[in-house]
Amino acid sequence: MIVQNIFFWVLALAMVLGAIGVVRSQNVVHAALYLVVVMAGAAAQYILLAAEFVAWVQVIIYIGAVIILFLFGIMLTRAPMGGDTKLDNDQRWPAAVVSVFLAGVLGALLIDAFGKKEIVISGAKGEQLLQVGKAGHLADSIFTAYVVPFEVVSILLLAALVGAVVIARRD
Amino acid sequence: MILNQFLILAAVLFCIGVYGVLARRNGVLVLMSVELMLNAVNINLIAFSAYLRETAGEVFALFVITIAAAEVGVGLAIVLLIYRNLHSPDLDHVEQLKG
Amino acid sequence: MTDYYREYLAVAVLIGAGLAMVGGMLGLGKLIRPTRPQPQKYVTYEAGSDPVGGWGQSNVRYYVYALLFVMFDVEAVFIFPWAVRLETLGVQSLISMIVFIVILALGLVYAWRKGVLRWA
């Protein structure tokens, strides 16, 4: 129990620092690498929560594919000559106020609503939790209750692919 | 582990993402901040799925990850188009529709 | 549950050891190597030809390839759990998976017909 909590706090610290790096870094490539830290931390949190399959999907899709897309986007939108221009606009302080306010509201709401509710990870309930995250269980759920969303996702992906090809093609 | 520690971590990540969306001017970096927000949502879904011992939360997280990939694909294509037409990835320059 | 965490503890130890090894070696190298920075050392080609410009602009074609990779990566993510449970879920899941793959393959066909796969 205590070991899991130590891991949680170490990972949470790394994720928050990485996230601040994403929004504050003045180098686009460094921002993408900080995003890798946040996503790997999220995958580790999923493993702590016994969501094994989703954790590895996170690694495959986010770290393996989405970051690649981001790096391609960075390479394609970089000014060929000269260094980076400024990456931030001039509403940094209003943005900081908005996000701190939002964090306060959300934090107060969450503490009020969920207090000290605990995720049980020991004993028989822990074993039950371990079964929830298995790939087979997810397949049972996807191919019985969520077949229609599953097919809709394929149409969404098709639309995204066609749209991106139309937009990105050089004519 | 307490449920709230995951929810508050997700809330903090979400707010950092909000800051990034509002304060960044480079289109690629705005999309990265959006990814931070989507990750926060996923942490919430997984935490509740573990709390309630329900597979549904994890299925939703899977769909969110999929849709995030599609969103980044189209979003970056739009940023590429902006870059090609305006010779800059900065979203401040997109003001031709301004009245 | 304890066994599960113990298995992943091994993964965490391995990752930590890897980071410590790389960090230790680079840090040790930084400590004991001599540093005498000269501007000539940072030129790309020491043989004499001067590099022109900064980063080269990549071609947009690469982006479409990366996008195709992402789409089929996502497809694979749904195939893995399906393959685990194919025998128990039966024909109905086979049909829905075939529909899924055919719809995604339409995207590949579209890209092919539009000629973005041809490197001309």
Asked if residue C26 and residue C79 are part of one domain, the reply reads no
The pLDDT score that the predictor gives to residue A166 is 86
**Residue C45 covered by a domain:** no
Q: If you write DSSP's letter for every residue of A42-85 in order, what string do you get?
A: HHHHHHHTT-HHHHHHIIIIIIIIIHHHHHHHHHHTS-SSS---
Whether C52 is covered by a domain: the verdict is no
Q: Residue A40: which of A17, A69, A74 has the closest Cα?
A: A17
Residues of B in contact with C70 (CB under 8 A): 69, 72-73
Per the prediction, chain C carries an average pLDDT of: 85
Report pLDDT for A158.
93
Distance CA C57, CA B93 (A): 21
Give pLDDT, residue C86: 87
Confidence of residue A108 (pLDDT cuts 50, 70, 90): very high
Residue C119 contacts A where some CB pair is shorter than 8 Å: no
Mean pLDDT of A14-24: 93
pTM here is 0.89
Q: What is the pLDDT of residue C27?
A: 94
What's residue A120's pLDDT?
A: 81
Confidence label for C57 from pLDDT (cuts 50, 70 and 90): low
Establish, for the pair of chains A and B, how many residue pairs have beta carbons separated by less than 8 Å: 246
pLDDT at C35: 84
- What does the pLDDT average to over A83-88? 68
Check residue C51 and give its pLDDT: 64
Identify whether residues C17 and C61 lie together within a single domain: no
Residue pLDDT, tens place only, C60-94: 778 888 888 998 899 999 999 999 988 888 898 99
Q: Could C67 and B80 be called an inter-chain contact, meaning their C-beta atoms sit closer than 8 Å? A: no
Interface B–C counts its CB contacts (< 8 A) at 21
Which residues in B lie closer than 8 A to residue C84 (C-beta atoms)?
Answer: none
Mean pLDDT of A144-171: 87
| B35 CB-contact burial (10 Å; exposed 0-12 / middle 13-18 / buried 19+) | buried
Q: Is residue C43 part of a domain?
A: no
Q: What is the pLDDT of residue C62?
A: 81
Give the pLDDT confidence score for residue C101 in this predicted structure. 93
pLDDT band at A81 (very low <50, low <70, confident <90, very high): very low
In a domain, C65, yes or no: yes
Q: What is the pLDDT of residue A82?
A: 45
C71 lies in the same domain as C27:
no
SS3 call for C77 = helix
Domains contained in chain C, number: 2
Nearest CA distance, A129 vs chain B (angstrom): 6
Q: Residue C63 is part of which domain span?
A: 57-120
Residue A36 Cα to chain centre, angstroms: 9
CATH no. for residue C82?
Answer: 1.20.58.1610
pLDDT > 70? residue A79: no
User: What are the pLDDT digits (tens) for B59-81?
Assistant: 999 999 999 999 999 999 988 88
Q: Which CATH class is domain A1-82?
A: mainly alpha
The mean of the pLDDT values for chain A is 87
Average pLDDT over residues A111-125: 84
Q: Which two tokens stand for residue C60?
A: 């947009």
Per the CB < 8 Å rule, is B7 touching A114? yes
Q: Is residue C46 part of a domain?
A: no
Q: Which residues of chain B register pLDDT less than 50?
A: none
- For tokens 């579209």, name the residue: C110
State the complex-level ipTM.
Answer: 0.91
Instruction: For residues C1-15, give the mean pLDDT.
Output: 88
pLDDT at A12 over 80: yes
Q: How confident is the model at residue A84 (pLDDT cuts 50, 70, 90)?
A: low
- The structural domains of chain B, ordered by start, are 3-93 (1.10.287.3510)
Q: Is residue C13 part of a domain?
A: yes
Mean local confidence (pLDDT), C27-49: 81
**Do C102 and C66 sit in the same domain of this protein?**
yes
Whether C96 is in a domain gets the answer: yes
Q: Do C112 and C71 reside in the same domain of the chain?
A: yes
Residues of chain C neighbouring A161 (CB-CB closer than 8 A) = 67-68, 71, 107, 110-111
Structure tokens at A45: 């949190």
Q: For chain A, what are the domain ranges?
A: 1-82
Q: Return the pLDDT at C58.
A: 62
**CA nearest to A61, candidates B84, C18, B69, B59:** B69
